[in-house]
């Protein structure tokens, strides 16, 4: 399957549920058993899997990351977004989700999130689905 690319417009900072887009890519791929790779090609954003039932979890994740990686005067990066680079490195640029029977194998409360740490921006992310299209 060809890599599927999606675009989203972000605010200054936030978590964006992209589970529906990942499911769409799996459905369109025809893959029955395999994996979906969700990838972020930006150095101040990331991809994570976390709870999608309670929006307070998203709030708390962002709060925790802000406290773990605050802006500091000692940072030397000229763009002034070193904290966003640190958050991105901590969260990571990709996630791998197993696919079985043509469906994502996410836990009951799990969703896939695009993490913005340096918006507002127009961002991209890609989904590559790998595996077998025949049941077997």
pLDDT at 124: 98
pLDDT at 75: 85
Closest-CA residue to 14 (of 93, 82, 114): 114
Q: In whole angstroms, what is the distance from residue 23 CA to residue 95 CA? A: 14
Closest-CA residue to 19 (of 43, 64, 40, 49): 49
pLDDT at 76: 87
Q: In whole angstroms, what is the distance from residue 35 CA to residue 100 CA? A: 8
pLDDT at 1: 74
Other CB atoms within a 10 A radius of the CB of residue 9 amount to 11
Query: How much is the pTM?
Result: 0.94
pLDDT at 30: 96
Widest pairwise Cα distance in the chain: 57
Q: In 3-state terms, the chain is what percent helix, strand and coil (to 5)? A: 25, 40, 35
Q: In whole angstroms, what is the distance from residue 19 CA to residue 26 CA? A: 11
pLDDT at 134: 62
Chunked into runs of 10 residues, the chain (136 residues) has average pLDDT values of 95 97 97 98 98 95 96 84 94 98 97 98 98 72
pLDDT at 81: 85
pLDDT at 135: 55
């Amino acid at each position: 399957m060809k890599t599927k690319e999606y675009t989203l417009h972000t605010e200054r900072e936030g978590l964006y549920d992209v589970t529906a887009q990942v499911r769409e890519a799996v459905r369109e791929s025809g893959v029955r058993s395999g994996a979906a790779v969700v990838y972020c090609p930006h150095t101040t954003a990331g991809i994570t899997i976390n709870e999608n039932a309670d929006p307070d979890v998203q709030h708390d994740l962002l709060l925790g990351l802000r406290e773990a990686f605050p802006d500091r005067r000692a940072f030397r990066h000229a763009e002034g977004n070193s904290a966003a680079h640190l958050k991105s490195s901590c969260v990571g640029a990709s996630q791998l989700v197993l696919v079985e029977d043509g469906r994502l194998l996410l836990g009951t409360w799990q969703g896939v999130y695009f993490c913005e740490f340096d918006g507002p921006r127009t961002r991209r992310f890609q989904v590559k689905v790998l595996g077998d299209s025949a049941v077997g």
